[in-house]
Amino acid sequence: MLACVGYIVPEYFRWPGFLSPEKGLKFADMPHGIAAVSKVPLEGWLQIVLFVGHYEGYFWRQDPKRAPGDYEGYGFLGVGKNFIVNVDPIEFQDAEVKKTKLSAEIANGRLAAGLHLSEVMRCVESSLRR
């Protein structure tokens, strides 16, 4: 779902300043979507990969005793349990209701992944026509 937001936001918002001062590349000059992949400098990709790799390796380490995707310290909607208040609305529901709601959330995530794939394909198709 965040990937879909990531496609919409650059249409209306750009950071001020330079993405790479040495190369004279401004944020405003960057295309959005798939076209941006080839424009980001190698150093930028290294920063992204290192940050995401560190985050997943440190914070999202899977405990074999827990269900897949159930990370300790993360609560409702993946927000940290001590973010603002320590409340998890799903914990107040019985097991059957919780299972139904989590299944619906998985289905929504799959739908969002399909919609994101269609956005990527539309972007690739339009870039090939140019």
Convert the pLDDT of each residue in 64-123 to its tens digit: 888 777 777 676 556 666 666 655 555 666 778 878 888 888 898 899 888 888 888 887
pLDDT digits (tens, 9 = 90+) for 15-24: 899 988 888 9
Domain residue extents for the chain? 2-61+93-129
Single pTM value for the model: 0.60
Measured in whole angstroms, how far is the alpha carbon of residue 9 from the centre of its chain? 13
List all residues 6 or more positions away from 59 whose beta carbon is below 8 Å from its beta carbon.
71, 73
Query: Across residues 26-34, what is the average pLDDT?
Result: 84
